[in-house]
Chain A
């Protein structure tokens, strides 16, 4: 088992490295020259001065050299020259943001608690809420409750998420103050304010996603309820609720967990719409800003994409290990 995890972790690392290379290569030429604004800021920008600045920032070096420096920075840290000044960047160094002139690592560390809080709260709501509704709908299959739930979930799903979130914010916070202003506050400043300021984003994210989980787990439950072993359980005299919540849910939850792992990984990489609309300074907002800024903030883009890749491969690994515990037929050795 340990060997399996080590092997999978190595494979995950490989994926992250390849992703970083791909991002590096992709943006190497595509991004407007970051030396331009630096040069312009110092007055009249001649071609000679631009070349000089480029050289000082190491932008004229071949991509492999630049990548080599980047890798070195990740492991041992490095000094990053930027225009006339040089910034110190400790390991793990993902570069200096072109915009803020701060180490990218510091920015990520600062933004991450907000993203993590949002992801944990939202995911808890949509998993419990969605699966419970799905199971109840499957239990009441064909009744008005079942149809109502499926219909409602389809309506919610068909509203674009950003519109749903925006409307919720406008009507529940801006106009009516039913919910307090949304923002991320560290939990150290009090649990209640922390919850209060995040409650609406959690609910919006949770409810919007839960509709999909309700439909999915309903489908899985219906399939499982048609299995022979469910009939066996009923034939043994197991009460109906126990048949549904123990025997059927136990089998139906496995595919749900798979989907959940991947969705959760996406949340951990940052939620652009939710963070933007509710003004939460998380990784998603950081990534968004780095893209719309001029010049594009390559070090930040690179770091957030690598983070996303790392989260997805890690989530995959966790799901696979979990699978071994959930399904005894797939014991990993």
Chain B
């Protein structure tokens, strides 16, 4: 425990080296034909070119609706899925290219917490075995000390240390999620991927688990990739949040910017859809941006911008050219041709000159694509100033 707390970094975006850098990550699930010769008929583009980084001891939130690829991203980072392409750099080593055996030591450092505390714990193993097995597999502590360590961990997550020989069925949902957290903490990871860690729990229990996660984050300096559909919980937990839509990040920003001045029309619609308790003071429902229809199929996503089929701002260019994830603020990137605060979206695409096309998205022989368009995982020191349409410096 002591060796971990040594490098407890202050949470929040800062300029320490990121613990995780994900660059252009892709995962295509092939759709196979039946029969002996399984031809690949199509690909489900579950995750299609996602880049982000997580500073040490900080937390990045990944939000979006079902099927947007947020859970697949989490599973790629823990290598429960093999990435199709792209890199996952953990402390400078690219995990995406490692073989299973080379991966083992890194598996210690990246752990996962699952959504369903009922199915993610083996009902036939005692809690002691569930938490102790990773300790034995990775030879973290001598065999004799395993039990002692299990008890310590149970205490950390707020369970009675004497309950190590009980079975998961003897615990409530919230307590099981604590067991899952203890198992993840056993190897003293540097990064925890939490996939909807509270959404299966009762409301009164959710807060207990969120608080516990915040405590272990502070105490052990663990970085989090926090995947959830609950926008309020993500906002509460993560200083930085990425919004995904159909396998791509459409907007990524610090929480202040993302929740107060979102620039992507999807983020704006998503945020306005959340029912608000405070509305009780006025009664009725508040005005919101309604999205028509359903999310298109990830097998055959729309051309250009994937959100355009449901977007009220969509123009010709949106069908022709995919908007790059453009940095428009110190810690703010957005993938939209017409980014702007609600009601202040520009009339003409801000991206056309950068992409070397005219305003309706046709190739413009007079313009040259800007070489500055970086799709790197982090934030640059310069960005596009939306108001003046020039490059600004941080």
Contacts and interface: CB of A to CB of B under 8 A. Distances in A.
A binds B: yes
Contacts of B36: 7, 11
Interface of A: 4, 7, 11, 332-333
Interface of B: 34-36
A4 B35 CA distance: 8
A7 B36 CA distance: 9
Contacts of A7: 35-36
A316 to B, nearest CB: 15
Contacts of B35: 4, 7
Nearest to B33: A333
B34 to A, nearest CB: 7
7 contacts: A4-B34, A4-B35, A7-B35, A7-B36, A11-B36, A332-B34, A333-B34
Nearest to A333: B34
Closest 7 CB pairs of A and B: A7-B35, A4-B34, A7-B36, A11-B36, A332-B34, A4-B35, A333-B34
A320 to B, nearest CB: 11
A332 B33 CA distance: 11
B226 to A, nearest CB: 31
Contacts of A333: 34
A10 to B, nearest CB: 9
Contacts of B34: 4, 332-333
A4 B36 CA distance: 11
A332 B34 CA distance: 9
A117 to B, nearest CB: 37
A209 B35 CA distance: 34
A11 B34 CA distance: 13
B38 to A, nearest CB: 12
B8 to A, nearest CB: 47
A8 to B, nearest CB: 9
A333 B36 CA distance: 14
B12 to A, nearest CB: 45
A333 B34 CA distance: 9
A50 B36 CA distance: 48
B39 to A, nearest CB: 13
A11 B36 CA distance: 9
Contacts of A4: 34-35
A333 B33 CA distance: 10
A312 B194 CA distance: 48
A205 to B, nearest CB: 36
Nearest to A332: B34
Contacts of A332: 34
Nearest to B35: A7
Nearest to A3: B35
A333 B31 CA distance: 14
B360 to A, nearest CB: 40
A332 B35 CA distance: 11
Nearest to B37: A7
A320 B36 CA distance: 16
A47 B23 CA distance: 81
A313 to B, nearest CB: 15
A156 to B, nearest CB: 34
B67 to A, nearest CB: 18
B36 to A, nearest CB: 7
Nearest to A8: B35
A197 to B, nearest CB: 46
B237 to A, nearest CB: 33
A82 B63 CA distance: 80
A247 B235 CA distance: 45
B281 to A, nearest CB: 35
A231 B34 CA distance: 35
A7 B35 CA distance: 7
B15 to A, nearest CB: 52
B357 to A, nearest CB: 41
B299 to A, nearest CB: 15
A92 B36 CA distance: 29
B218 to A, nearest CB: 42
A209 to B, nearest CB: 33
A7 B33 CA distance: 13
A323 to B, nearest CB: 13
A4 B33 CA distance: 11
Nearest to A11: B36
A1 to B, nearest CB: 12
B41 to A, nearest CB: 11
A11 B37 CA distance: 13
